[in-house]
Structure 1
């Protein structure tokens, strides 16, 4: 599938690096030179935010969480995302208090969905640091990494596929009304990382019925 990534930082590069064998990818951002430099390191395309939104069947918001809505405007507004799958990987977390920065009672994912009524929105990849996603080994204590996600039903299959393509097991929690759970869980990981925790820190779901990796 074609994936337009809005952002060119560590998370954007980590996910693009895992998807590049199976999908066509374009990196983008405000600074076209930096986007091009990041894209060259992965041998993929780069472009403007509007070009990435137009290119992708799937569009990934890998910007800073505070820049998401500016990026929507730069892409051309809600119409630029009509009929596309949009993935929110962000966490609206204050890194001093480790509490949400949202003040309207919505998760960031729900706010994005409200802003993009013609898109199919989901949330994933927010609960681990970029090094985890870049690493081809997604096993922890002998068990496969499980990636919980939320999604509109129309986005479910594509999102599950992209999670599997980075080497993790997808687990749909339901619709985006559950996305606040993912943001709250990510806040725990972020707090541990800021306290000096290893970059590979994850909250992995241990399911007794699941067989361990051999």
Structure 2
């Protein structure tokens, strides 16, 4: 099996070393570069073309999100795992709107990082369960609201089911015989109908209501 190439970027050497150690003990995961700031990370990613880049959100020179934006502008097909210390839903929404596949709390990195990297490489989404729990605690009232499925078309319901299964945009497009752009348009319409703000809110809604779909 071909090695899955990974670049790690974090400005804390001890934490970066811990992430490297967790990944290196796995079969077919190869660390091809380490960076201590966003500028180094971007240069290293463009040079080595890894399959997955693991980026801290808060880094000198360029933040993790700024690195992702530069990669998207350059049309680089590299999957991203973002690391954060904060349970900020607004940042999470921004990350997922940039097609970041995995978003994990640094306090859970030792447990989550390998699973997150493998899922990201396969084009699937992953958010630390503890992060989802913290965000739910912040939004208990909203979490208890009943979904208004009657507002959705049959195809939109089907799409929600596939989102709840962590299917990527490409996988949904193939299964529903649509273009990826059309799938993104459907995502936007579903968010509008359900009054959801951003990609993470849609993913979270789908997860929470998958048994009702």
Tell me the TM-score range normalised by the shorter chain.
0.3 to 0.5
More helix by share: 2
Q: Could you tell me the TM-score, scaled by structure 1's length?
A: 0.42
Larger RCO of the pair (alpha carbons < 8 Å, separation 6+): 1
Structure having the higher strand fraction is: 1
Normalising by structure 2, we get a TM-score of 0.42
The structure that has the greater radius of gyration is 2
